[in-house]
Amino acid sequence: MRTVVHTRQGDPAQVLMLKEDPGPPPRPGTGQVLVRLLVRPVHPGDLAGVEGLPGLPEQRPPEVRTPGVEGMGVVESVGPDVRALRPGQRVAVFPAPGTWADFVVVAADRAVLVPEGVGDETAALMLVNPLTLLMLHRALENALGEHEGPVLQTAAGSSIGRLVSAAAVRHGLPLVNLVRGASGARQMRSLYPTLPVIATSDDDWREQVRHHTGGRPLQVVLDCVGGALTQDLVRLLADGGTLITYGRLGSGTTALEELPLVQRGLTVQGVTVWHWTHRTPDERAQDVAFALDLAQNTPDLLEVAARYDLADVRAAVEHARRPGKSGTVLLSSERSTGTREEAVR
Ligand SMILES: NC(=O)c1ccc[n+]([C@@H]2O[C@H](COP(=O)([O-])OP(=O)(O)OC[C@H]3O[C@@H](n4cnc5c(N)ncnc54)[C@H](OP(=O)(O)O)[C@@H]3O)[C@@H](O)[C@H]2O)c1
């Protein structure tokens, strides 16, 4: 059994190691299943979990930890009291800490049966990002209240950003897309021609935002960049507006005290897909049905950037951080030889 591990936080390209254990895989306990994983994504959040938050002391004592929160594979065995699943079935798992390994043990209710028409790669991507989209959508609706918009999102070319754009086009949401460079802007314009795209590499990007919103201030900003950009984003918000923060791709920091939250009645709201587990079983079932529908009918929205063998985790991590990457990098469990970088689409 192969497992990617790290014993300290730091640059993933430095601290991640592949451990090979000749022993048998773990046994599932009551209500659990053992999944032989075939594919799992490299999400920015996985890398943040390895690095820790910049500027803060190490968040956890040294221990052997395996990254990864989602993936797809085949049920290898089931523990006592598991009736809904049986060995041999294809499943996608989330939340399932430790998916960067050949096997993972998860509670049976965290494994979703993969329909026949859905490919392995799509299945490996069909939970975290679509469920995050739903969490963002709910936060956005709450924050908008009676307002229709406008709304701005940062890192619009990200996998999540594309899901948000597709939903905005479908629902007629007045969304402005912000990216960091000209090539990302070109790409987004060709994918979503009806949505304005602005690159922060342009000196006048703030004026461009005002121009595209017809001078109306933003009601909501969906932001996963943060850092030094936060001040600018807050300046573009309407009084009473909301900054929804759900990631930290940018550098630098902005102190909360520097923001005119009180004077302008602004709200800063964090959103995390980890809170999805707080939803009721019925609500979760509806959300999973949405994710399955997306995987079956619009798999292109779950784009794959490249696929690497689990043993090439460092190369995979380097690719996942590459500027201009389009889609999500996958780690696969198929053993092959040589340099295993395969552009998928
Ligand atoms: N809160 C949650 O529960 C949750 C769940 C899922 C994802 N997220 C967050 O959502 C964000 C997007 O995730 P993803 O998987 O969709 O990402 P992704 O597909 O890997 O794409 C990353 C995107 O971020 C852009 N980017 C990278 N560094 C940047 C910077 N310093 N400034 C501006 N843009 C930058 C890249 O732009 P270029 O094209 O210019 O390189 C690329 O478009 C991440 O912050 C992630 O942590 C949060």
* pLDDT 10s digits, 261-297: 999 999 999 999 999 999 999 999 999 999 999 999 9
Percentage of the residues of the chain whose pLDDT score is greater than 90: 91
pTM metric for this prediction: 0.94
| In contact, 187 and 208? CB cutoff 8 Å | no
For the cut 90, the answer to whether the pLDDT of residue 344 exceeds it is: no
What is the number of the ligand 1 atom nearest to the C-alpha of 135?
Answer: 3
The residue whose CA is least distant from atom 39 of ligand 1 is 324
* pLDDT value at residue 37: 98
93 phi, psi to nearest 5 deg: -125, 140
* pLDDT 10s digits, 90-145: 999 999 999 999 999 999 999 999 999 999 999 999 999 999 999 999 999 999 99
Answer whether 288 contacts ligand 1 (Cβ < 6 A).
Answer: no
- Report the residue among 153, 160, 275 best suited for mutation to probe ligand 1: largest number of ligand atoms under 8 A from its CB: 160
Answer whether 328 contacts ligand 1 (Cβ < 6 A).
Answer: yes
What is the number of the ligand 1 atom nearest to the C-alpha of 322?
Answer: 41
Q: Which pLDDT band, with edges at 50, 70 and 90, does 202 fall under?
A: very high
* pLDDT value at residue 155: 98
* pLDDT value at residue 319: 98
* pLDDT value at residue 56: 59
| In contact, 102 and 121? CB cutoff 8 Å | no
What is the number of the ligand 1 atom nearest to the C-alpha of 48?
Answer: 47
For the cut 50, the answer to whether the pLDDT of residue 199 exceeds it is: yes
* Burial of residue 291 (number of CB atoms within 10 Å: 0-12, 13-18, 19+): buried
- Report the residue among 53, 131, 180, 325 best suited for mutation to probe ligand 1: largest number of ligand atoms under 8 A from its CB: 180
Give the domains, in start order, of the chain with CATH numbers: 2-126+302-343 (3.90.180.10), 129-274 (3.40.50.720)
Answer whether 12 contacts ligand 1 (Cβ < 6 A).
Answer: no
Cβ atoms within 10 A of the Cβ of 65, count? 17
Q: What is the DSSP letter of 275?
A: G
Q: Which pLDDT band, with edges at 50, 70 and 90, does 63 fall under?
A: confident
| In contact, 326 and 303? CB cutoff 8 Å | yes
CA distance 49 to 46: 5
The residue whose CA is least distant from atom 9 of ligand 1 is 247
* pLDDT 10s digits, 129-186: 999 999 999 999 999 999 998 999 999 999 999 999 999 999 999 999 999 999 999 9
* Ligand 1 centroid – CA 239 distance (Å): 27
